[in-house]
Structures are given as structure tokens and as C-alpha cells.
């Protein structure tokens, strides 16, 4: 990737609202899981490990960003789905089978598509998915982390994930 593209992508991530960041992390998890799956199918275990590790990091970020307010039951269900995906990615790495990756990708794609519909619906209604407010600084970047006031899913993006590759 050339420098201008990298700078554009970094700028896009740094200025994106929380709901867009959530979508970027979901899309990165799907992309890395696909890389891991393709490499595993080709018996390229080193590349597979790399892709699945990055996918797990993205899913872990999704899990850690779930806010329980205002709907703890929804948050618990969503956490359970993401944990299922994470466990499947671990299992695939250990057993060198693609089926758990396929299951994780299906769930993540469904979540991505649902999230996109929610963003579109709320933008058409003139609202936002969340109302973000700075609550703390991220220790790695010094940039503000954001907490959400109205959803159980889109919470702070703490940085550290490479969403651009």
C-alpha cells in the first residue's frame, strides 16, 4: 500500500464515529478470517495462524467494546455470539479445520449486514447509532476513547488493531 493510501486510511479511522469504527472492526475480522481460511485450506499454516490471530484480535475488541447499558440481555447475547466466533477461530487454529472459521464468518457477516442496515436506517431518520462522549485517553495513542450512551454494541475503539490490511 502506498503512503498516501495509508495516510488516508489512518485519517478515516481516526475521524470515524464510533458506529463506523465498530463496522470497520467487524469487516477486518471477516477479512482476516477469510485470509486464515484460505491459507489453512492451502496448508499454509504460518499464514493461516497470522490471519486467524488478527481475526481473533478483532473479535476480542468487539467483545471488550460491548456496553451493557441500556440493554444487558442484548449485550449478553451479542457477547455470546462473539465468544462463539472467537472460540471457533481458536478451534480452527488448533484442529486445522475450516468449518469453525466458516461458522464464525457467517455470524460476523450477518452482524455486519445488520449493523449496516441499522446505520442506514438511523441516518435516514436523522439520528446516529450512538451519542459518543470522550471518557478517557487511550494509553497507546493519547487519543480519546469513547463510550456510548444509547447502544449495547458500538463502544470505544481502543486502537492497536490494524484495520487497513
Within-domain flag for 14: yes
pLDDT value for 141: 36
In a domain, 160, yes or no: no
Q: Say if 158 falls within a structural domain.
A: no
DSSP 118-143: HHHHHHHTT--S--EEEEEE-TTT-P
Q: Examine residue 26 and state whether it is found in any structural domain, yes or no.
A: yes
- Number of folded domains that form the chain: 1
CB 78 within 8 A of CB 59: no
C-alpha span between 54 and 51 (Å, rounded): 5
Q: Convert the pLDDT of each residue in 145-154 to its tens digit.
A: 333 333 333 4
Domain containing residue 139: CATH number? 1.20.120.340
Listed residue (122, 54, 112, 36) closest to 81, CA to CA? 112
Residue 133 domain boundaries: 3-148
Residue 83 in this model has a pLDDT that exceeds 90: yes
Half-sphere exposure of 137 (CA within 13 A, CB side): 5
The more confident residue out of 61 and 6 is 61
What is the pLDDT, as a whole number, of residue 157? 40
| Helix ranges restricted to H, the chain | 3-15, 18-41, 45-64, 72-95, 99-124
Report yes or no on 164 lying in a domain.
no
- Domain membership of residue 159 (yes or no) is no
Within-domain flag for 92 = yes
Average pLDDT, the chain: 82
Q: pLDDT at residue 79 above 60?
A: yes
Given this model, what pLDDT does residue 162 score?
A: 62
With a cut of 80, say whether residue 140 has pLDDT above it: no
pTM here is 0.74
Residue 153 lies in a domain: no
Amino acid at each position: 500500500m502506498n503512503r498516501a493510501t495509508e495516510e488516508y486510511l489512518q485519517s478515516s479511522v481516526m475521524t470515524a464515529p464510533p458506529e463506523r469504527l465498530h463496522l470497520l472492526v467487524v469487516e477486518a475480522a471477516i477479512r482476516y478470517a477469510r485470509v486464515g481460511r484460505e491459507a489453512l485450506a492451502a496448508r499454509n499454516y504460518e499464514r493461516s495462524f497470522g490471519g486467524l490471530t488478527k481475526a481473533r484480535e478483532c473479535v476480542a475488541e468487539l467483545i471488550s467494546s460491548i456496553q451493557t447499558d441500556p440493554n444487558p440481555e442484548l449485550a449478553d447475547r451479542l457477547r455470546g455470539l462473539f465468544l462463539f466466533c472467537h472460540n471457533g477461530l481458536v478451534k480452527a487454529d488448533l484442529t486445522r479445520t475450516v468449518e469453525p472459521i466458516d461458522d464464525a464468518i457467517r455470524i460476523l457477516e450477518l452482524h455486519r449486514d445488520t449493523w449496516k442496515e441499522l446505520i442506514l436506517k438511523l441516518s435516514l431518520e436523522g439520528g446516529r447509532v450512538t451519542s459518543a462522549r470522550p471518557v478517557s485517553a487511550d494509553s497507546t495513542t493519547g487519543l480519546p476513547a469513547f463510550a456510548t450512551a444509547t447502544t449495547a454494541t458500538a463502544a470505544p475503539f481502543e486502537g492497536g488493531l490494524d484495520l487497513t490490511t
